[in-house]
Structure 1
Amino acid sequence: MTTATNPRVLEHPERTDIRLAGVLHALSDPVRLTIVREMALGEGDDFACSYFDLPVTKSTTTHHFRVLRESGVVRQLYSGTTKLNRLRRDDLDTLFPGLLDSVLSAATAETARDTAR
């Protein structure tokens, strides 16, 4: 992990420190999976935490983004007072080829099944 000395600089795992178990844990939560699915649709874009309409409190949203950041799924940075988030697609695809696409496809299929009921 990189060490942050400035409170406005957030710690992120280096690519070589990202672990499959951590990524799978981060993606196992429905709220976090929703965040990642939406980010994947806007590939390469930065998203403010407030962009996402989530069914949880602000403090719980902060927790979910922290889990995503600490697992290596997203990169966060400050722009003024806004915390921006970007999917670490290149890192994930390099380390775990096809994993993110498979998880996102499975989540989409599950949503379609649930909607069809």
Structure 2
Amino acid sequence: MVAVPELAHPARDEIQLSSVLFALSDPDRREVVRQLLDGPLDAANCFASDPSMPKSTKSHLMKVLREAGIIRNEPHGRNRRLTLRRADLDSRFPGLIDAIFTAHEPPD
């Protein structure tokens, strides 16, 4: 059996505001984070706004969020588990996540 590889995640003190804001500027990435506000999800069950989105696009969304320090993407059996790094984000940028996700977004 092939092990699911570990991925690199920035340490709490390496999370940069500009990277977080860039990652959250995309509506599909914000939707992933919105889903994770309720708790961890298996990557296979976490859908962006378009469930027919190609796997490669979905993987890129997760990579941007992970590299920005917003989510953890860790092995979970043969799958991957996504977790919002809420404590790290709240420590670095108090109130940011609440401000972003309680703000009213205008309709498209």
Same fold? TM cut 0.5: yes
Contact 2:90–2:96 (8 Å) recurs in 1: yes
More helix by share: 1
| Partner residue, 2:107 | 114
Aligned structure 1 segments of 4 or more residues deviating by more than 6 angstroms: none
Separation (CA, whole Å) in 2 of partners of 1:52 and 1:78:
15
| Partner residue, 1:27 | 24
List per-residue Cα deviations over 1:3-44 (Å, max 9, x = no partner). Answer: xxx97111000001000000001100000000111111x1xx
List per-residue Cα deviations over 1:64-84 (Å, max 9, x = no partner). Answer: 001000000001110121111
Partner of 2:91, secondary structure, is helix
Separation (CA, whole Å) in 1 of partners of 2:22 and 2:65:
9
| Partner residue, 2:45 | 51
For residues 1-117 of structure 1, the aligned pairs below 5 Å read: 8-40=5-37, 42=38, 45-54=39-48, 55=50, 56-106=53-103, 109-110=104-105, 113-114=106-107
One-letter code aligned to 2:88: D
Separation (CA, whole Å) in 1 of partners of 2:36 and 2:65:
12
Contact 2:4–2:75 (8 Å) recurs in 1: no
Contact 2:4–2:79 (8 Å) recurs in 1: no
Partner of 1:32, secondary structure, is helix
Q: Percent identity?
A: 39
TM-score by length of 2: 0.88
Structure 1 segments unaligned to the other structure (5+ residues)? 1-5
Partner of 1:114, secondary structure, is coil
Contact 2:10–2:69 (8 Å) recurs in 1: yes
